[in-house]
């Protein structure tokens, strides 16, 4: 199939005189299932709709937004695969100088708060045409949220942008249902109550409805903590309401996750698996990084407090079939750099009770593995082995990371990692070593990391292989002190681990850690915790990076 249309010439080539839906994206158009605009566009196309894409329009001119005319049904808006503010600014609030989702990594191809800017322009140009917000930026700003870059609590992005409806999470199912209902002649305000995974302006709620604290009142830190606790506890199972800028917003529960058959169908769509030819000769770094990788599943039940993946992708693991993954692998030659998802070894795992609403755990792994969690490493190894047997494939690696606490007791799985699937380096994320900090992060005790490393290196030595483990660390998480950083430094010295880079904590919208950063409170107990300043975070980071250790391997 040809690329989705991006200009009038593409429409003429297809003998089309209109489009049903136009997707406006802050990313360059890469027709690959790792890019949100492409996967939503192809899913809508497969459902029978005419879809076009406007990629990285110049917001200082109207012409790019008018390139494909007026859609019959709606404009779909996405800031891209990243929140535009995260894309533009560092954890120290300094402007970045490149953009991995733009040709030649050129910075400045999208505006700050792209979802709002794009919506405002389209509302002015095409009055009466519905505008639908989606993507990671909209998904993680769908209720009142703390914005680190303005250091304030902002209203729902739906209210700020004045779009007609917001679709959060993985949007194939709700966006197709929305398009089908609009195509039948029903107005957007008449169908929004019928859709899952949406937020929209509504009538006042019933008396017994679950109401979040009013958006404007969430500037108060006690209210913000209460709102976040209530949202975390209820958003997956209840309809929520929040009064915002004088109007009620209604947050419907998430859509049912895709079955394996449905997910296979999505990844079997006719992607070109490459950037649009208009970018020829201008590499897009984000595509270069993933072009040799395969997505095996979605979702994460790890529940790390600094991460919002489960708030977007959901906590239920949605896995593709082995047949589907192997079929995609046949497109590759030589090396496949990664087969995974948010966490590679969550593939095919599940809750034996189906994550019931009665379950109050935020994480299936913290503080310990839930006994109802069914892990199937043999299924992941079967997929990897099948790919390895393809004549066009020489090597298969796991680069998306694994949860060591899930794998530590499985010697067979560890041996397979060492021998076949991690090359020279395996990335693990202990994040820190101090028990107090790990609890605030929602991460397991460091002993599971140490035990895994011991088994990994013992296995490598027995096989005569040289292997390294690269630890990911976060500095400056809410609740950390210089004493904690010193304890981490001493641990690294004891185990002879030299860290090449560390991540500074960034308070991204809707994470539990961001709530702690803003409120200065422990999310669970409400007790005050220390919030390190930017200067303190730099000192913590320097303390770790200044280590001069020739080895990267923990001592025995």
Given 176, 201, 226, the domain boundary residue is: 201
Residue 524: phi and psi, rounded to 5, are -90, -45
Inside any domain, residue 349: yes
Residues 174 and 314 in one domain: no
Cα separation, 51 vs 11, whole angstroms = 10
Inside any domain, residue 419: yes
CATH of the domain at 349: 3.30.750.210
Q: Which residues does 48 contact at the CB level (< 8 Å), separation at least 6?
A: none
DSSP 8-state symbol, 420: I
Residues 473 and 404 in one domain: no
One digit per residue, the tens of pLDDT, for the chain of length 556 reads 699 999 999 999 999 999 999 999 999 999 999 999 999 999 999 999 999 999 999 999 999 999 999 999 999 999 999 999 999 999 999 999 999 999 999 999 999 999 999 999 999 999 999 999 999 999 999 999 999 999 999 999 999 999 999 999 999 999 999 999 999 999 998 988 889 999 999 999 999 999 999 999 999 999 999 999 999 999 999 999 999 999 999 999 999 999 999 999 999 999 999 999 999 999 999 999 999 999 999 999 999 999 999 999 999 999 999 999 999 999 999 999 999 999 999 999 999 999 998 898 999 999 999 999 999 999 999 999 999 999 999 999 998 889 999 999 999 999 999 999 987 889 899 999 999 999 999 999 999 999 999 999 999 999 999 999 989 999 999 999 999 999 999 999 999 988 878 999 999 999 999 999 999 999 999 999 999 999 999 999 999 998 876 544 544 4
Inside any domain, residue 51: yes
Residues 380 and 448 in one domain: no
Residues 36 and 169 in one domain: yes
pLDDT of the residue at 556: 45
Cis peptide before 89 (omega within 30 of 0): no
Residues 305 and 434 in one domain: no
CA distances for 161 relative to 166, 196, 200, angstroms: 10, 21, 12
Residues 152 and 185 in one domain: yes
Cβ pair 287, 31 in contact under 8 A:
no
Residues 406 and 441 in one domain: no
Greatest extent of the chain over all pairs of C-alpha atoms, in Å: 69
Inside any domain, residue 212: no
Cα separation, 170 vs 535, whole angstroms = 37
Cβ pair 43, 142 in contact under 8 A:
no
pLDDT of the residue at 551: 47
Query: In which element (H, E) is residue 19 found?
Result: none
Which alpha helices (DSSP H) does 235-376 contain, by range? 260-267, 285-290, 309-313, 322-329
Cα separation, 161 vs 420, whole angstroms = 49
Which residues constitute the domain of residue 188? 8-201
Cα separation, 263 vs 522, whole angstroms = 38
Point out which residues pair with 295 in neighbouring strands.
340
pLDDT of the residue at 1: 66
Cβ pair 53, 4 in contact under 8 A:
yes
Cβ pair 36, 78 in contact under 8 A:
yes
Residues 510 and 450 in one domain: yes
Cβ pair 200, 192 in contact under 8 A:
yes
Cα separation, 204 vs 187, whole angstroms = 20
CA distances for 409 relative to 34, 375, 404, 413, 441, angstroms: 32, 12, 9, 9, 23
DSSP 8-state symbol, 46: H
Inside any domain, residue 328: yes
Given 158, 179, 201, the domain boundary residue is: 201
Residue 350: phi and psi, rounded to 5, are -160, 160
The pTM of the full predicted model, rounded to 2 decimals, is 0.95
Given 184, 201, 218, the domain boundary residue is: 201
Which alpha helices (DSSP H) does 157-218 contain, by range? 157-161, 172-183, 188-191
Inside any domain, residue 69: yes
Residues 419 and 333 in one domain: yes
Residues 336 and 434 in one domain: no
> CB atoms < 10 A from the CB of 48, how many?
11
Residues 433 and 486 in one domain: yes
Inside any domain, residue 473: yes
Cα separation, 530 vs 146, whole angstroms = 18
Cα separation, 85 vs 110, whole angstroms = 10
Inside any domain, residue 146: yes
CATH of the domain at 494: 3.30.750.200
Residues 457 and 411 in one domain: no
Report the domain count for the chain: 3
CATH of the domain at 155: 3.40.50.280
């Amino acid at each position: 199939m040809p690329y989705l249309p991006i200009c009038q010439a593409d429409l003429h080539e297809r003998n089309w005189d209109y489009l049903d839906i136009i997707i406006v994206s802050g990313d360059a158009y890469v027709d690959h299932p790792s890019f949100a605009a492409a996967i939503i566009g192809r899913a809508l196309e497969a459902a029978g709709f005419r879809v076009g894409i406007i990629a990285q329009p110049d917001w200082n001119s109207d012409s790019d937004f008018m390139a494909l005319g007026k859609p019959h049904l709606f404009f779909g808006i996405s800031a891209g695969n990243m929140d535009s503010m995260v894309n533009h600014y560092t954890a120290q609030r300094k402007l970045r100088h490149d953009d991995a989702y733009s040709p030649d990594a050129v910075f400045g191809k999208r505006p700050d708060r792209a979802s709002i800017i794009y919506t405002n322009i389209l509302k002015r140009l095409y009055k009466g045409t519905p505008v639908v917000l989606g993507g990671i930026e909209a998904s993680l700003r769908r209720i009142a949220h703390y914005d680190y870059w303005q250091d304030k609590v902002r209203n729902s992005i739906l209210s700020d942008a004045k779009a007609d409806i917001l679709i959060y999470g993985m949007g194939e199912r709700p966006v197709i249902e929305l398009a089908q209902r609009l195509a039948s002649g029903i107005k957007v305000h008449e169908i929004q109550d019928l859709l899952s995974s949406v937020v929209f302006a509504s009538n006042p709620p019933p008396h017994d409805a679950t109401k979040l604290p009013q958006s404007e009142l969430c500037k108060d830190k006690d209210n913000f903590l209460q709102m976040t606790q209530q949202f975390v506890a209820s958003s997956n199972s209840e309809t929520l309401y929040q009064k915002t800028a004088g109007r009620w917003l209604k947050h419907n529960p998430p859509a049912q996750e895709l079955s394996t058959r449905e997910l296979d169908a999505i990844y079997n769509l006719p992607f070109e698996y490459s950037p649009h030819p208009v970018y020829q000769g201008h590499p897009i770094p984000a595509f270069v990084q993933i072009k040799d990788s395969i997505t095996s599943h979605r979702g994460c039940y790890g529940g790390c407090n600094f991460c919002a993946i489960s708030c977007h992708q959901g906590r239920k693991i949605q896995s593709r079939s082995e047949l589907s993954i192997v079929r995609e692998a046949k497109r590759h030659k030589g090396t496949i750099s990664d087969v995974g998802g948010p966490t590679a070894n969550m593939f095919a795992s599940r809750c034996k009770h189906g994550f019931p609403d009665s379950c109050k755990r935020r994480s299936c792994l913290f503080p310990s593995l839930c006994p109802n969690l069914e892990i199937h490493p043999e299924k992941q190894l079967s997929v990897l082995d099948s790919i390895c047997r393809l004549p066009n494939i020489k090597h298969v690696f796991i680069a998306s990371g694994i949860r060591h606490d899930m794998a530590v007791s499985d010697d067979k799985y560890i041996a397979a990692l060492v021998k076949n699937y991690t090359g020279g380096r395996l990335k693990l994320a202990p994040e820190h070593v101090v028990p107090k900090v790990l609890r605030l992060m929602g991460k397991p005790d460091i002993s599971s990391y140490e035990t895994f490393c011991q088994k990994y290196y013992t296995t490598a030595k027995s096989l005569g292989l040289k292997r390294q483990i690269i630890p990911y660390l976060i500095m400056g998480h809410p609740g950390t002190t210089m004493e904690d950083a010193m304890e981490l430094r001493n641990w690294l010295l004891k185990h002879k681990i030299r860290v090449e880079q560390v991540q500074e904590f960034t308070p991204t919208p809707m994470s539990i850690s961001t709530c702690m950063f803003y409120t200065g409170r422990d999310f669970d107990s409400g007790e005050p915790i220390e919030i390190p300043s930017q200067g303190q975070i730099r000192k913590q980071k320097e303390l770790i990076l200044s280590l001069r250790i020739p080895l990267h391997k923990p001592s025995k």
